[in-house]
Chains A and B, each alone.
Chain A
Amino acid sequence: GENVEQHPSTLSVQEGDSAVIKCTYSDSASNYFPWYKQELGKRPQLIIDIRSNVGEKKDQRIAVTLNKTAKHFSLHITETQPEDSAVYFCAASNNMLTFGGGTRLMVKP
């Protein structure tokens, strides 16, 4: 089955700086790669996703890149704000979604 590794497990940045979270996956058949944000005590919610026929996707301050050859994908958040503080999960899917272990992002004002 699919195995998703996520790094770093915690990330602390100053407000306004960029944050990068990286994930690797094992199943070359995976074709869908979403990112979820989970605030404390709340449910995970989708923030951006990318499919295997695209190398990069951007939505305002958030971008995701995918390298299928190397089987890794990354989340980039620019101009971070305190409200970006949360746990972020990457995931990979061929059939069902397999999640990474999460990255706790702390944005210091």
Chain B
Amino acid sequence: GAGVSQSPRYKVTKRGQDVALRCDPISGHVSLYWYRQALGQGPEFLTYFNYEAQQDKSGLPNDRFSAERPEGSISTLTIQRTEQRDSAMYRCASSLGVTGMNTGELFFGEGSRLTVL
């Protein structure tokens, strides 16, 4: 696609429900990142992939959060048993090169705004 696409754009869920957020990166981009951005703050790193391999998941807050990118393209961030503190904008970004070898421009998606009631 022309840019990084995320869905859903808005998600309202009740506490305790599971949610899955989808990211479709720019075609051909090798690296894919998940960030969380609170209102008025900088993006907070969650995890990233080179191709289908999850390289770093040190930013995932706890074991309720997981991410996958099984075919090296689309990625899903899953939050199990959601809590109110999980409410935030979740942003996906992709980059052409392999992270760590030639880190370059990140192209961000519009984000998925999650609200947990």
Which residues of A pack against B, CB within 8 Å? Answer: 1, 4, 6, 31-32, 34, 43-46, 49, 87, 89, 91, 93-102, 104
Contacts and interface: CB of A to CB of B under 8 A. Distances in A.
Contacts of A95: 55-56, 99-100, 103
Interface of B: 33, 35, 40-45, 48, 55-56, 58, 91, 99-100, 103-106, 108-111
Contact of A32 (B43, B44, B103): B103
Contacts, number: 53
The A contact surface, by secondary structure, is: strand
Contact of B105 (A43, A49, A94, A98): A49
B30 to A, nearest CB: 14
Contacts of A45: 108
Contact of B45 (A43, A97, A100): A97
Contacts of B99: 95-96
> Which of B91, B99, B103, B104 has the most chain A CB atoms inside 10 A of its CB?
B103
A76 B85 CA distance: 36
